[in-house]
Amino acid sequence: MKKLKSGVFLLLFIIFICGTNYAAGIRLGISGAVKEKVKELDQKVREAKQQNVTMNTDTAGSVTFSSAALSGTVNPNGLNSTVYFEWGTTQTYGNTTARQSVGGGTTNINVNAALTNLSADTLYNYRIAVTNGAGTTYGSNQTFTTGPLVFALSGYRNSVFAFSEYQQHISYLGIQQIRLAGPDAAFWNIGDANKDGIPDPSFLSKIDGVITETVQLGLKITCIITLNSEAGNTFLNEGTANRTAYINFVKTIVERYDGDGVSDCSGSPRVTMWQVGNEPNAVGGAGVFLASEFAKMVSATVTAIRQSDSNALIALGGTFGTEQGGTGWETYYATVLQNLETGAPGQQLFNTVDIHLYGNAQGDYRRMVQDVNSFRTILAGYPQYRDVRIITTETGTYSGGDGGSCPPFQSESEEAANMVKRFVLNIASGVRQIHWARLIESPGTENKYFGHCGLIFDGTDDSGDTAHDRGAKLPKRIYYSYHLLTNALLMIDWSQSVSAQTLSPSINMYSYRFKRAGQADLIAVWWDYFSDGASFNDTRTINLNEWNLSESQINQIISAVTDINGNTRTVSVSGGSFSINGEPLLIELK
């Protein structure tokens, strides 16, 4: 025992903790110096115990558009411990999973937690946390991004449907979001007749109804907002009253639909994403806007949007593709980005780009691979844009035709088959949102492409002839195929890559294997018969050896193209082989 100053005695002894010797003492009197010594010792003991706990946070798995599975391992190393995950959209987290006891053993313990009701296409942070008598220890931060709301429609609701009918179609098809275009979009020249920056009451009344109804259906909304629905090569001149009026119009519209409860329309609905412009390169090489002028409009519009809603997603106006007669969209958009960078160096003015692709039900769909790669190459030149989302708000083909200005005849089966190929190839190419063009064929355009493009018949065909139209409001085969596809691919695990391969019977046979959360793998396979000089109903044989599978591993194989009543066709396997024609097949594993 050692006597200290001020008459306080300290009994010294040695303790052994976690392989480290510490000098300790029992205070036999009151001394500030001794208190500090004990406090310091206590902190060292706690740190030693905490350091003795080991943990590892795994990469998130089973990541869908609304859920994810977190996992990791913890070794308590003799300290009774509980474990949980912190998670949220920032590194302040804000949410915790249920606590799990892992005991006080000395071996690795697996821990798991399921996250549900997440927002789609959103970056989440998470980390593991271990609590014991020594305090709480945290693992390193990890991230995952939820899957997108892939299944979407473009265009406005046709008035032939009552709300209840429209609701039934949206629910059956599994639609997750919609893009408002045409008369339902926010065009300044349509919504502000006086050109004073104040939206017309009649315009607001109509848009209020459309947006409110869409939100009531549980759909996310992308809405075009732009200067003009007509052609014109220049943006409004700097400093003019018209330019000021346009900017005020944008601010008012965005504020009205930002969902913050301030100056909103009734019910405070929210537009998730604003799309600035639409197919600006659509008129020859000069485009609706010269590229430099379109860049000016984008910059002004984005600034106005963010002043009203700083959290809004913003998409660049979609491309007008070569299959529609457009030329040089790559050069056009490269020039737009150059001008945006010159005007606002290093600033990210949008987080989404949009590729439009129509064409026939044969090989035009494969153009998307080239278009995605081309856009990625353009974006790669600007660090702030390298990881922006690529979506398509307009894609489609048609059935019927062979008259007027419509391209040659295509059957309903060909249309449905091509839709499946477009969705699968888009997803495999990294496209995060796919809007099929139109729920119902466009009325008043019977002799044209869009008069035959839709999931439901409008009741008329070329020049009023109904030879290829089975009746107004009747679902087409593509309608049922869309339903099949959403059911098959809704639970894609976005933490896993899509496995693509070309099959040996033909270089024009393709397959794409998807991992699904909580479900067995799914393989989509098809044959581009037209590239082999064959017809839709010709057949070829495929062996399961293509995927190193046996019959015992197959749950079912069905055609992705139904009959006119939505009935599916099951494909049988014999001797490890099955037949395929022009209809894509969905192979569900056990």
Q: What is the pLDDT of residue 462?
A: 56
| pLDDT of res. 68 | 98
pLDDT of residue 286: 44
Per-residue pLDDT tens over the stretch 497-532: 999 999 999 999 999 999 999 999 999 999 999 999
pLDDT attached to residue 233: 62
The answer to whether 46 and 25 are in contact (CB under 8 A) is no
Per residue in 16-41, pLDDT (tens digit) is: 444 444 444 444 445 565 566 555 55
Q: What does the pLDDT read at residue 469?
A: 83
Q: Which two tokens stand for residue 231?
A: 């052609």
In order of start, what are the domains of the chain with their CATH numbers?
2-49 (no CATH), 54-145 (2.60.40.10), 151-489 (3.20.20.80), 499-589 (2.60.40)
| Residue among 161, 153, 164, 184 nearest 257 (CA) | 184
The number of residues making up the chain comes to: 590
92-101: list long-range contacts, CB under 8 Å, 24+ apart.
Answer: 93/125, 93/126, 93/127, 96/129, 97/70, 99/131
Letter string b/e over residues 528-543, b meaning 16 or more CB atoms within 10 A of that residue's CB: bbbeeebebeeebebe
End-to-end CA, the chain: 75
Nearest Cα residue to 68 out of 85, 91, 90: 85
DSSP 122-161: -EEEEEEEEEETTEEEE---EEEEPPP--EEEESPPPTTS
The CA distance from 187 to 169, in Å, is 28
Distance (Å, whole) CA 278 – CA 435: 14
Q: Give me the half-sphere count of Cα atoms (radius 13 Å) on the Cβ side of residue 441.
A: 33
Mean pLDDT per 10-residue section of the chain, whose length is 590 residues? 44 42 45 58 50 86 97 93 97 97 94 97 96 90 96 78 89 94 89 94 95 92 84 66 92 97 95 94 65 92 97 95 72 96 97 95 94 96 97 94 72 97 97 93 72 87 66 94 96 95 94 97 98 98 98 98 97 97 98
What is the pLDDT at residue 282? Answer: 83
| Closest of 436, 428, 361 to residue 401, by C-alpha | 361
Task: Report the distance separating Cα 293 and Cα 277, nearest Å.
Answer: 12
Residues with Cβ within 8 Å of residue 50, at least 6 apart in sequence: 132, 134, 135, 137
